[in-house]
């Protein structure tokens, strides 16, 4: 079945460690996104990518890094520079450009907790 898969679902990290969250899609979408959600809050855009080998910073990119070496994959690294990384991380994909109707397909999310 087509869809978008995030892993791991739950992750615990010690302070000072980098962690990488995986996001894979087989929907043949050009655009992929990473959002962060804090308890009781909306979604804030971290990074987005419209095409392979290209990505742009969103509103809260500091302390995060991404890569887009393959169309299907858009991993997010939470670095030690991110001062408050405990949050729910959501990956999404969509068509790009004017074919983008705003319908994002989301993964199930990764819940990161810093100990």
Partner 1 sequence: GQNIDQPTEMTATEGAIVQINCTYQTSGFNGLFWYQQHAGEAPTFLSYNVLDGLEEKGRFSSFLSRSKGYSYLLLKELQMKDSASYLCASFSGGYNKLIFGAGTRLAVHP
Positions that interact with partner 1 (CB under 8 A): 31, 33, 35, 40-45, 48, 50, 56, 58-59, 90, 94, 96-98, 100-104, 106-109
Contacts of residue 87, defined as CB under 8 A and 6 or more positions apart, other chains included, come to 36, 37, 38, 111, 112
**3-class DSSP state of 107:** coil
Question: 10-13 and 64-66: which strand pairing?
Answer: unpaired
CB of 28 to partner 1, least distance (A): 16
Q: Quote the least distance from Cβ 13 to partner 1, whole Å.
A: 20
CB nearer to partner 1: pick between 12 and 17: 12
CB 17 to partner 1: min, Å: 25
Which one, 44 or 71, has the nearer CB to partner 1?
A: 44
Comparing CB distances to partner 1, the nearer of 18 and 53 is 53
With contact defined as beta carbons under 8 Å apart, do 79 and 61 qualify? no
99 φ, ψ to 5°? -80, -5
Taking the complex as a whole, how short is the minimal distance between the CB of residue 111 and partner 1, in angstroms?
Answer: 9
**Nearest of 88, 101, 92 to residue 32 by alpha carbon:** 92
């Amino acid at each position: 079945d087509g869809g978008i898969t995030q892993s791991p679902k739950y992750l615990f990290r010690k302070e000072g460690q980098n962690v990488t969250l995986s996001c894979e899609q087989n929907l043949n979408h050009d655009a992929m996104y990473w959002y962060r959600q804090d308890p009781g809050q909306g979604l804030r855009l971290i990074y987005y990518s419209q095409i392979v080998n290209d990505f742009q910073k969103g509103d809260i990119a500091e302390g995060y890094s991404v890569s887009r070496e393959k169309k299907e994959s858009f991993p997010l690294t939470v670095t030690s520079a991110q001062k408050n990384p405990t949050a729910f991380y959501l990956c999404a994909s969509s068509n790009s450009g004017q074919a983008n109707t705003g319908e994002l397909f989301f993964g199930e999310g990764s819940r990161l907790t810093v100990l």
